[in-house]
A and B are shown apart, each in its own frame.
Chain A
Amino acid sequence: MTEAKPVAVGVEASVIMAELRSLGIDHVICIPDSYQKTLIAALQDDPSIRFITACTEDEAMGINAGLYMGGKNPMLVIQNNGIFASINTIKAIPLDARIPTFIFVGQFQRDPMVAVEESRSRAVRMVEPTLDTWGVPHWRLEGPDDIGNIRAAYEKAHETMGPVALIVGAPTL
């Protein structure tokens, strides 16, 4: 009997951190997410990054906009439900006002053994269709082979001057 292979596997936080450092990220605004626990801990420990905990994703996008206008290079770390909670702000700030908004989105409650489309969690299934509806480009981080998607997503946010999501499909290691 063969063992089932996971659809998504976690990526080491240290590998993600190296990518973020190479992009010059200097501020992270976060609404805690259990799928990015180890990444969040690494971000909090990095003296070159100012780590800001916000109360809502709306607030986080506002802070991101202010930091960007002030000449900084910020990003957001949130979970999938935060996308649904902040649609009006995504419309008004990154899309309408054209603010580069680079967002790591943890797929909270996703079973990494199951494809996103077959997930029992509505939140997991609906993130990408919701982003598509609003014209928000997105990439997946489903394992170490996807590490290049971090840079691709970041560059897209700055090229289009808008929101871009990097969807973290398994708990970071």
Chain B
Amino acid sequence: MQRREGIAALVRRLDNEPVIANLGPATFDLYAAGDRDANLYTWGAMGLASSIALGVALAAPDRKVFVTDGDGSLLMNLGSLATIARQAPENLVHIVWDNRMWYETGGQPTHTSTGTDLGGIALAAGIRNVARAATVEAFEEALDQAIREPGPWFIHVDVEETGEPRQRPKVIVEENLVKFRRTFTG
């Protein structure tokens, strides 16, 4: 499956729930699926999408909070899995699109290409709800369960890169942050 198919499936299920996207393809595909105030696109600080999402989830326990991450970025912040497990926010759904490469920098293989199992690491970190999907149907099934049931959830999704050009979001970072914050503070 492709990342954009997974993101489209996620967006179809959203109302006002926040989505925090890792920089690069996860942000490009989320924007392409339809801009919304509750989308937070990240640009610098690669790897920190899951940490930002943890903060949002703790601040807004009454809303499901989604983070769409990548394998390369999560490998830069594996400690976040332990912190998420320790804080255990029931409303956090961490989705990792694993394309086994750092796509934006030229497709260099990440450690998942040689067997590192991010779902296994999440489980070992103490996140009890871990699912893996390689098809849109399997992803939707895992996502629906994560929406229905308390988390935190970690959904590890194997995706394929097609190499097709992506639309870079026409977003001003500060405006995005202000709009995103207003969805909580009014």
Contact = CB atoms under 8 A, between A and B. Distances in A.
A157 to B, nearest CB: 15
Q: Which size bracket describes the interface of A in this complex?
A: 20 to 34
Contact of A71 (B87, B173, B184): B184
B77 interface: yes
B184 A62 contact: no
A52 B184 contact: no
A91 B59 CA distance: 24
Contacts of B184: 69-71
Contact of A62 (B48, B58, B177, B185): B48
B45 A56 contact: no
A88 B45 contact: yes
Contacts of A63: 51-52, 54-55, 58, 83
Contacts, number: 115
A69 B181 contact: yes
Contact of A59 (B40, B48, B56): B48
A152 interface: no
Contacts of B60: 70-71
A96 B54 contact: no
A61 interface: yes
Interface in B48-99: 48-60, 77, 79-80, 82-83, 86-87
B55 A67 contact: yes
B47 A65 contact: no
Contacts of B80: 55, 59, 62
Given A59-B83, A97-B177, A70 B58 contact: yes
